[in-house]
Amino acid sequence: MAAHRVVVVGAGFGGLAVARGLARAPGIEVLVVDRTNYHLFQPLLYQVATAGLEPADIAYPARGIARRLRTARFRSAEVLGVDWDARTLRVAHGAPIPFDSLVLATGAATATFGVPGAAEHAFGLKRLDDAVALRSHLLRQFEMADADPRLIDQGALTVVVVGGGPTGTEMAGALTELFRNVLARDFPRLDIARSRVVLVEMAPEVLNGFHPSLRASARRELVRKGVELALGRSVAEVDADGVRLDDGRELPARTVLWAAGVRAVAPETGLPLARAGRIAVDPDLAVPGHPGVWAIGDVAGAVDGDGTPLPQLAPVAIQGGTHVARQILRRRAGLAGEPFTYVDRGTMATIGRRAAVAQLPLGIRLTGTLAWLAWLGLHLVQLIGFRNRLSVLLNWAWNYLTWDRAARIIVDVEDPRPEPGIGDRARSEASGP
């Protein structure tokens, strides 16, 4: 009998959890499809953007993962849509992909909420390319200001970070450390005291969702590191010269990072959507009206017992993936589906060297060095692959002991070839929308 074919779209946290959950299941073959050829550890993207880590430290080849799971294969392709009658996926290049069961795990992208100029002028931080482009852009601003210090008045050394959630907070802290501790030594002729990191947050505090004492601790730490806070303010407009806040204030800045929100991304499915473009799902994460189809992680509109949407976090995606793998096996065994329950084991955010906040079960709250060590340990064990773990550990130890950031390299990402060449197809598959 032909094996039951489970196709998983997305090699992120959720998609890989499905593949792992089905790894030893008899009579099942799993195909993981992703537009990139790697699994990306997004929580450490900000360290690539601030030159603390190399891209390869936080990305792991998807084929290497599939190879180790007996029943899984991988294909790199951009999925464009689903043909429900034929039960196939339409892909940008190559033959349609047939499926018996389908798991949509396509994640989320930066959302700029229609703020004028944000999509054109601000950097996002969702993909590996975003982090490398941002790192190169930042370093280039310092090189340009070194050549012509008048550019500092135009915001060459100013970064506006929009959004005071974990990503914005982590970026703001890491940027001041990069500027003051590393680039200050690289650019001795530049007046680093004139560099600015401004964090704009609509709410009256950073890290909304954390306990008030942790929010206050994070705010104090950011201020101590030299981050300027614009709390209770929002960005009304972004252009090439900087941002305009809702109170009319203009901030000249050559670098704007948009960390104020994400929206779900999915191929064309025609499926009903819940809030923020997320695919509506039943309590067991099945897509209503489409037997054998599931959505998990950032793209799924799953809710908790009170009807509150589940947060777009890695553990939600991982637990959702594990749950769906089990439901696929239960259905094949003729058993009824089970509702998905997310178990919150805590949330953390780091603000920089020996500064973090952690909100754990049983009301345990950590700050400072202890929270920072917990954050380091957790991220290290969650990375895939011994080489990546070792490399991240070495880089962190090196950065900590020497106050250095080895990855402060400007990479020109433009394709130098004048004519479309043989690699064109691969490039368009890898780049996505």
Ligand X SMILES: Cc1cc2nc3c(=O)[nH]c(=O)nc-3n(C[C@H](O)[C@H](O)[C@H](O)COP(=O)(O)OP(=O)(O)OC[C@H]3O[C@@H](n4cnc5c(N)ncnc54)[C@H](O)[C@@H]3O)c2cc1C
The helix/strand count (H/E) of the chain reads as 12, 22
Compute the half-sphere exposure of residue 267: CA atoms within 13 Å on the CB side of its CA: 25
From the centroid of its chain, how far is CA 209? 18
Strand 355-359 and strand 347-352: pairing? antiparallel
Verify whether residue 419 is a known catalytic residue. Answer: no
What is the DSSP code (8-state) at residue 123?
B
| Burial annotation 15-38 (CB, 10 A radius, 16+ → b, else e) | bbbbbbbbbebeebbbbbbbbbbb
Which residue number, 155 or 177, has a Cβ lying nearer to ligand X? 177
Catalytic residue among 29, 78, 120, 170: 170
Q: Measuring CA to CA, how many Å separate 247 from each of 8, 200, 202, 407?
A: 46, 12, 12, 38
CA pair distance 374, 366, nearest whole angstrom: 9
CB of 418 to ligand X, least distance (A): 29
Binding site for ligand X (CB under 6 A): 9-15, 33-36, 40, 42-43, 45-46, 78-79, 105-107, 125-126, 166-167, 265, 267, 297-299, 312-315, 317
CA pair distance 160, 175, nearest whole angstrom: 11
Strand 4-9 and strand 28-34: pairing? parallel
| Burial annotation 126-137 (CB, 10 A radius, 16+ → b, else e) | bbbebbbbbbbe
- Give yes or no for a contact between 391 and 57, defined as CB atoms under 8 angstroms apart: yes
Q: Which residue is nearest to ligand X (CB)?
A: 12
Which residue number, 34 or 221, has a Cβ lying nearer to ligand X? 34
Q: Measuring CA to CA, how many Å separate 410 from each of 6, 134, 148, 224, 262?
A: 41, 10, 18, 29, 27
**Catalytic residue numbers, as ranges:** 170
